[in-house]
Amino acid sequence: MTYKLIRLLALCSVLLIAEGCGKNSSGSSKKTKFVSIGTGGVTGVYYPTGGAICKMLNDKNKKYGIKATVESTGGSVYNINAIMNDDLDFGIAQSDRQYQAYKGLRQWKDKGKQSDLRSVFSIYPESITLLATQQSGVKNVKDLKGKRANLGNIGSGTLQNALDALKTNGLSEKDLRAEHIKPVESPGLVQDERIDAFFFTVGHPNGNIKEATSGRIKMGIVPISGPGVNAMLAKLPYYAKSVIPKEFYPNSTNKGDVETIGVTATLVTSQKVDRDIVYALTKEVFTNFEDFKKLHPAYKTITKESMLKGLSAPIHKGAMKYYKEAGLDKFIAPALMKGN
């Protein structure tokens, strides 16, 4: 018995008590479709995002006949694998992980290409955030040469993103006095004067960045931009430009918003998931777009167009049906319209 079947049986038991196992007031049978959305830790942004999408679907239960549940999980890699194993219907995953899974890279090198993986939409940017102390004199990535910098813990997305940012500026970690510690520990390392700078790939606003920019030692966010970055964006499609608003960190040394790049949090599914379910989910999010944006400050800068960028697996046919109806397909890269 699979994990998904066990969970759905448990959910059905609750519905048996609460709703007479799907029968309406006249006693006739009512067929309900059960769907699950994998997210991340309950304190992160993924979990409330999945919860909000579930609520949208459950509020329209009479229209679509869908009962959705949100699952707290280990994050991107777990969600993709669970979808491919039919243990989840949807999941939130970083765009670089989506790319790697679909192409059969990194964690999926032995398993091969996850060709059934499908995109639904992007949600919000997770920016590569480089902070440096005012006294370090670091104004751009190249200035990190010879400096003490935390690149992120081994195996983390932050570390890989930091290495990419260094490479596009002609540097490697050997050019720095590099540390490999969890980014959440970086504010303390800065105040102890043990590092000059640190990377953190994260959605904004973020509590650790607020802490880092509000301490005794003043810090600023360093832009990641320029010709080398443009070349990297063309080579690595899961990266996209993003902006970190100054208003999120009023105590930073920055004078205005900061340009950088990053990955995006994306909603993914399998091509095996029912077309009508994916259509309903997509339609509810986009037709309630302004309400969706109010869910979290990290959504402040998103647009309907941006929600169709940073994707690398083909768009699910159910989502594509809605995008064509709404005239949003013009924002989608032709390669993502495979089979649609």
Residue 132 sits in the same domain as residue 106: no
Residue 324 sits in the same domain as residue 203: no
pLDDT of residue 7: 52
Domain count, the chain: 2
- pLDDT over 50 at 309, yes or no: yes
Write down which residue in 223, 247, 263 finishes a domain.
263
Residue 287 sits in the same domain as residue 165: no
Residue 155 sits in the same domain as residue 111: no
pLDDT of residue 157: 77
Assigned token pair, 103: 């192409």
Residue 72 sits in the same domain as residue 144: no
Write down which residue in 213, 244, 263 finishes a domain.
263
Angle at 103 between CA 98 and CA 109, to 5 degrees: 100
The CATH number of whichever domain residue 14 belongs to comes to 3.40.190.10
Q: Report the C-alpha gap between 75 and 227 in whole angstroms.
A: 33
Residue 108 sits in the same domain as residue 132: no
The pairing of beta strand 117-133 with beta strand 197-202: antiparallel
Residue 98 sits in the same domain as residue 150: no
Question: Average pLDDT, whole number, for the chain?
Answer: 88
Confidence of residue 338 (pLDDT cuts 50, 70, 90): confident
* pTM score, whole prediction: 0.76
Residue 236 sits in the same domain as residue 255: yes
CA 31 to each of CA 34, 63, 65, 161, 277: distance values in angstroms, whole numbers, following the listed order: 10, 12, 7, 46, 13
Range of the domain at 13: 3-125+265-337
Residue 248 sits in the same domain as residue 318: no
Can you tell me the mean pLDDT for 157-172? 92
DSSP string across 112-148: ---TTEEEEEEEEEEEEEEEEEGGGT--SGGGGTTSE
pLDDT in tens, 166-197: 999 999 999 999 999 988 899 999 999 999 99
- Using the Cα atoms of residue 339, residue 2, residue 98 and residue 50 in order, give the sign of their dihedral: positive
Residue 249 sits in the same domain as residue 276: no
Where do runs of H (alpha helix) occur along 177-309?
A: 186-191, 207-212, 227-235, 275-287, 289-293
User: For a pLDDT cut of 90, what percent of the chain falls above it?
Assistant: 69
pLDDT of residue 236: 86
Write down which residue in 225, 240, 263 finishes a domain.
263
Residues with Cβ within 8 Å of 173's Cβ and at least 6 positions away in sequence, in order, are 151, 163, 166
pLDDT of residue 248: 93
Q: Report the C-alpha gap between 281 and 284 in whole angstroms.
A: 5
Residue 282 sits in the same domain as residue 301: yes
Tokens 């994306």 — which residue?
Answer: 266
Residue 314 sits in the same domain as residue 253: no
